Amino acid sequence: MTHAGAPASPQGEHLLLQGVTDYAIYLLDASGTILSWNTGGERIKGYTGSEVIGRHFSCFYTPEEIQHGVPEHALAIASQEGRYETEGWRVRKDGSRFRAHIVIDAIYRDGGLVGFAKVTRDITEHYQAAAQRRQAEQALAQAQKIAAVGQLTLGIAHDFNNLLAVITASLDLLPAAEGRRRQMLVDAARQAAARGARLTRQMLAFARGQSLEPELHDVNALIGSAAEVYRRAGGPITQCVFDLAEADTRVMVDAEQLEAALVNLVANARDAMEQPGTIRIATRITRPDPALHPGAVAGRDYLYVSVADDGRGMEEHVRQRAMEPFFTTKDVGRGSGLGLSQVFGFASQSGGFAFIESAPGEGTCVTMAIPAGEAADA
């Protein structure tokens, strides 16, 4: 690392590093051997300098990560790109694990790689707080189920009464109507019946009772073939862009229901935009942490299919309730409040889960997680 101005003396740098106790800061040679150690490293990881200097830095990694070559991969990325940043579980001297945020910077001299500077921060408390918040949200969701059922019943009754009123009125007037008026009444009854059928499908998806027909599909290909549909759903003031993973995105999924869920999410994103902006449809393969996503199976990869906007975002209390049936912040007549609950139902019935990330002024991202790997081989 090169800094402008007069270089600090080695003694000054040593005192500075020893004075840092919240971060483990140490140097590695080009092969990953530990060359220096600071007070923060001893506090966080439990080793003294004499115990670790001269050892390979992989001693701080879990056995699983060592087996998969994670330490070597980290150094390879840092040497190629100049920097590597991640977070994960690390091991203290006493064998206990802690959640760490890690940054590795490559050090070059005369154009050649001479080593690495590694900084590790213990973020266990922050990580556990986030996990506890997710668990609290799940507990709250369970507690709200009874209230949601009541709200659901009232909403269905209200919507179906309106639809049946249109059908009944059209049928009552039909015998005396002729010509154009007769056709208008028939069309009105048909449209009301179609809306009723659509409402039923949404409710079945929410209740996980709809019979899906999953087949092995390449989700990237499905999204690409329907790109124009999503652009139209986004409306004239938005730009719909795609960020699709360069990976195997084949999963077992009902293609028609996936497209319907994506159209719902794009329409929601469009409605959240108060000025021209961007809607981003993205895919990626990841292995979620069950502590943060209780619907995830430990050790399983999932295909994340997300729709993000740069609209106004949600307050936290709105985000927590957004997937409840009939909950909506839209004006009367602009939505049934079933769109996000349908997405939730589809993801759950597909063997996965869904979640929302949002904050006021920072937009919203809704993600459907669908099992990959073993699920795709089924």
Q: What is the DSSP code string of 155-196?
A: HHHHHHHHHHHHHHHHHHHGGG--HHHHHHHHHHHHHHHHHH
pLDDT bin (cut points 50, 70, 90) of residue 12 is very low
Kindly tell me if the per-residue pLDDT of 162 is higher than 90.
no
Least confident of 82-91, 167-176, 180-189, 338-347: 338-347
Edge-to-edge, what's the strand order for the sheet holding 238-243?
A: 238-243, 277-286, 302-309, 364-371, 353-358
More confident residue, 266 or 147: 266
Nearest-10 crossing angle of helices 179-206, 339-349: 50
pLDDT-based confidence at residue 280 (cuts at 50, 70, 90)? very high
- Mean predicted confidence (pLDDT) in 309-322: 80
Residue 67 CB partners (closer than 8 Å, separation 6+):
none
Query: What average pLDDT does range 271-294 have in this prediction?
Result: 89
- Out of 70-74, 89-93, 101-105, 327-331, pick the least confident: 327-331
Query: Length of the chain, please?
Result: 378
Query: What integer pLDDT is reported at residue 30 of this predicted model?
Result: 94
- The whole-number pLDDT of residue 55 equals 94
Average pLDDT of 241-250?
93
Instruction: Give the Cα separation of 115 and 280 in Å (integer).
Output: 39
Query: Predicted confidence band at 18 (pLDDT cuts at 50, 70, 90)?
Result: low
The answer to whether residue 10 scores a pLDDT higher than 50 is no
Q: Are 231 and 268 in contact (CB under 8 A)?
A: no
Q: How far is CA 111 from CA 27, 78, 79, 155, 233, in A?
A: 18, 15, 12, 68, 51
Q: How confident is the model at residue 51 (pLDDT cuts 50, 70, 90)?
A: very high
- pLDDT classification of 337: cutoffs 50, 70, 90: very low
Instruction: Check if the beta carbon of residue 107 is closer than 8 Å to that of residue 26.
Output: no
* Domains assigned to the chain: 10-122 (3.30.450.20), 134-206 (1.10.287), 215-377 (3.30.565.10)
Q: How confident is the model at residue 164 (pLDDT cuts 50, 70, 90)?
A: confident
**pTM for the structure as a whole:** 0.49
Q: How confident is the model at residue 306 (pLDDT cuts 50, 70, 90)?
A: very high
Dist. CA 294–CA 321, nearest whole Å: 17
Beta partners for residue 307, in sequence order: 281, 366
- 163: Cβ–Cβ under 8 A, 6 or more apart, which residues? 192, 193, 195, 196, 199
Query: Lowest-pLDDT range, 129-143, 160-174, 309-323?
Result: 129-143
Query: If pLDDT is split at 50, 70 and 90, which confidence band does 201 have?
Result: low
C-alpha span between 270 and 273 (Å, rounded): 5
What does the angle CA 173 – CA 178 – CA 179 come to, to the nearest 5 degrees?
130
354 has pLDDT over 80: yes
Q: What is the mean pLDDT of residues 199-222?
A: 72
d(CA 196, CA 75): 58
Confidence of residue 135 (pLDDT cuts 50, 70, 90): confident
